[in-house]
Amino acid sequence: MPITSIRNSELPKSFSKLSAQPSDPSEGIDERKFVVALARGLEMLRAFRPGETLLGNRDFVDRTGLPKATVNRLAYTLTTLGYLRFDEPAGKYALDTGVLSLGFALLAGADALELARPHMRVLAREIGAAVSLGCRDDLDMIYLETIRSETALTLGLAPGSRLSMLTSSMGRAYLAVQEPDQRAALLEELGAAAVKNGEDGARLVKAAQDAIDDYARDGCCYSFRDWHADVNAIAAPLRDIRNGRWLVLSSSGPASSMDEAYFRNIVAPKLRTLAARLA
């Protein structure tokens, strides 16, 4: 979410207690300790989207809402520290190895991921669909791992890919296990962001709320052609006790060959069982 020019007392919504995910959900942000400059730098890194390799200053300004002069200073700092690399011929920036090392450190230290991989591989083989594990990142969900079926042509995004919390089954499952007041605030923020992007925020929020009702009944959330017109998906949350966070298991496949009934009747029981086992 864009960060405008702010004073220390004017924290952006993307760094609210809901989005920052403190270890204790009841804790808010202590503005005396919050480093706005650091937050802005991290928001610069978040500006990159899956499949993008180069961004220019104009891209950073548009996506973060920061002034051009601030973007120039942050880009210089991040380049000096090895998190960005300037491509002279293109006149744009690319992510550099500093970001990669942080990502590998996260994945290497994720005990739940190490535990989940072999079970995800077995499930992907059984159901002939991709099986993924993800977590929340600001107002999106991010893939930590994806195992594709070895027996069928399946879909599946690579680790690091981001999904809409409103339209993806993974995001809806995350919303389903939040406290009611936190979920309501998140849905309001997500709806407003959707409207800002030119989408029908009210319709998307309603679809997410319907999926949350599915979770109360089925223990899973669904996304049937909502995230993508050709993709059906299902997700089940699990609590990572050691790290104090919610993870989400999901499975997805082509809507043309894996219909709603397949995910509800065949995949759902297996995904719930695996989520319970891993938790």
Q: What percent of the chain has pLDDT over 90?
A: 44
Average pLDDT over residues 175-198: 94
**What are the chain's domains?**
13-101 (1.10.10.10), 109-278 (3.30.450.40)
Q: What percent of the chain has pLDDT over 70?
A: 82
More confident residue, 164 or 13: 164
As given in the structure block, the two tokens for residue 157 are 């995004």
151 has a pLDDT exceeding 80: no
- Going by C-alpha positions, the residue among 244, 237, 247, 254 that lies closest to residue 173 is 237
- Summarised one tens digit per residue, pLDDT across range 86-95 is 988 889 998 8
Mean pLDDT rounded to a whole number for the chain: 82
17 has a pLDDT exceeding 70: no
Categorize the per-residue pLDDT at 107 as very low, low, confident or very high, splitting at 50, 70 and 90: low
Average pLDDT over residues 173-192: 95
Q: How far apart are CA 78 and CA 51, in angstroms?
A: 21
- Summarised one tens digit per residue, pLDDT across range 19-74 is 333 333 334 567 888 888 888 888 888 888 766 788 999 999 998 889 999 999 99
Q: Report in angstroms the alpha-carbon separations of 260 from 125, 171, 172, 234.
A: 19, 18, 16, 9
In this structure, what DSSP letter does residue 259 have? -
